[in-house]
Amino acid sequence: MILVKRLDRYLLRHFFLALLLVGISCEIVFILINAVEKLSRFIDNQVPFATIVQYYVFYSGWVIRNFFPMFILLATLFSIAILARRNEILAMKSTGRSLYRIAAPILIVSLALSAGHFYYNEYIYPPIAEQYHELKVFEVEKKSKRTFTVATNIRRQIQPGHFYTIGTFDTERLQGRDLRIYRSQNNRLAEVITADQIVWENHRWVAYKGAVRTFDDTASEIYSTFESRQLDQIEEKPADFARRIGKPEDMGLEELKNYIRVMERTGGPHIRESVDLGIKYAFPLSSFIVTLICIPFASNAKRSGVAVSFAMGALIALVYFVLFRILQSAGYSEKIPWVVSVWGVNAVFLVIGLLAMLKARK
């Protein structure tokens, strides 16, 4: 039992060392590529050096979020391939240990890292993403904050046949202009409420300087005006009208679920967000799946090696992520069911990984 524990520690030490080197190397490469791309903008907009450093600290978090499975893939290939090159895998097998037993600690750790990646994406990264996008948009690209704090042409459904529009709304001042609330009944217009101003105050919506037109079955109109009127029928909060700086996929899990619920209730589009919600669960699992594929290949001493492993890892990563994005786009456009767009690539590669493990020399 002690020998087994030492063997596990030995394998995991090589794996984590490879993961550390791969992670640092890839972070440096991505930062250098991005720096070359952004250099002219940094100079043109006179971005302070401290802001640039802060920008790349946040950018590193983005790299981890999007490319952590690739780090796992390369670390698995490198660590196992080096052991195979030294005939250490063969020596382990000669003591009666199968490839399954040798792979077990790395597979277990990769599954745990997948769970950690999920937690990072949904509970650690979202506030980082918010700061990263604010820094990128306002400090690096020098865009006006008004572009994101003032929403125009807002339309929301309260319930079927009951909706409202707001011409403009300032999410910082918590007030908007040109409010219209329409309510229909039995396929005819029953009521229209208009107001010059709508304000969020004391945790409720209040309309100012407006009018109410009510229509009965004979199309007769009852007209009245008001100086102020509480609007209990509007459930949205001011933040729901703000234009997001980042993408919906950068939202945390609960934030995205809440956004989808709002869109479902108000009749807004939410197909893309529903696909993104599924991907939040599917994408972190790719770390475990690519590990399952890589171990049988890297453990063969005849075809292992750092250069070959890097080429193989690049090929697997390219095919996996290209297919992942293709199905994601198809899901956005509703050309395929969302379940296929979210889980299709994982299912295919999981089958490939299981077959590779079954056919590998034990």
SS (H, E, C) 135-185: HHHHHHCCCCCHHHHEEEEEEEEEECCEEEEEEEEECCCCEEEEEEEEEEE
Q: Which residues pair with 200 in a beta bridge?
A: 205
Q: What is the pLDDT of residue 304?
A: 52
Q: What's the rounded Cα separation, in Å, for the pair 245 and 228?
A: 33
Same domain, 214 and 344: no
Q: Are residues 313 and 229 in the same domain?
A: no
Give residue 160's Cα distance to chain centre: 31
- Nearest CA among 167, 172, 129 for reference residue 148: 172
Torsion, Cα of 30, 305, 79, 112 (10° steps)? 70
Locate 245 and state its tokens.
């700086």
323 domain-assigned: yes
Assess if residue 266 is contained within a domain: no
39 in the same domain as 111 = yes
The upper half-sphere exposure of residue 345, i.e. CA atoms within 13 Å in the direction of its Cβ, equals 27
Which residues have CB under 8 Å from 263's CB, separation 6+? Answer: 269, 270, 273
Pick the closest to residue 55 from 128, 130, 144, 136 (CA basis). Answer: 136
Residues 114 and 176 placed together within one structural domain of the fold? no
Which amino acid, residue 47?
Answer: V
Specify the amino acid at residue 309. S
What local confidence, expressed as pLDDT, does residue 235 receive?
A: 86
Helix (H) or strand (E) holding 110: helix 99-119
d(CA 70, CA 78): 12
pTM of the model: 0.77
Predicted confidence at residue 143, as pLDDT, reads 81
Residue 246 covered by a domain: no
Pairing of strands 204-215, 150-159: unpaired
Strand partners, 163: 157, 182
Does residue 290 fall inside a structural domain? yes
Q: Are residues 232 and 124 in the same domain?
A: no
Residue count of the chain, please give it.
362
One digit per residue, the tens of pLDDT, for the chain of length 362 reads 444 578 888 899 999 999 999 999 999 999 999 999 999 999 988 999 999 999 999 999 999 999 999 899 889 888 888 888 888 888 888 887 888 888 889 999 999 999 999 999 999 998 888 888 888 888 888 887 777 778 888 888 888 888 899 999 998 889 999 999 998 888 788 899 999 999 999 889 999 999 999 988 776 888 999 999 999 888 888 888 876 666 767 778 888 888 888 777 766 778 888 898 999 999 999 999 988 888 887 777 565 556 666 677 678 878 888 898 899 999 988 899 989 999 999 999 999 888 888 887 65
The residue out of 193, 225, 241 marking a domain boundary is 241
Give the DSSP letter of residue 256: H
Asked if residue 267 is part of any domain, the answer here is no
Q: DSSP letters along 259-289, please?
A: HHHHHHHHT---HHHHHHHHHHHHGGGHHHH
Same-domain pairing of 237 and 316? no
Structure tokens at 311: 């080429």
Question: Would residue 160 count as lying in a domain?
Answer: no
Q: Looking at the structure, tell me whether residues 22 and 125 fall in a common domain.
A: yes
pLDDT of amino acid 146: 73
Q: Are residues 279 and 321 in the same domain?
A: yes
Indicate if 207 and 325 belong to the same structural domain.
no
Tokens 């709508």: give the residue.
Answer: 198
Whether residues 283 and 138 share a domain: the answer is yes
201 lies in which domain range? 172-241
Same domain, 25 and 85: yes
In a domain, 258, yes or no: no
**Torsion angle, alpha carbons of 185, 191, 195, 199, to 10:** -50
CB atoms within 10 A of CB 89: 25
Half-sphere exposure of 65 (CA within 13 A, CB side): 23
Q: How far apart are CA 304 and CA 298, in angstroms?
A: 5
Domain-located, residue 157: no
DSSP code at position 232: T
Concatenated DSSP letters for 12-25? HHHHHHHHHHHHHH
The terminus-to-terminus CA distance of the chain in angstroms comes to: 21
Are residues 193 and 286 located together in one domain of the fold?
no
Domain count, the chain: 2
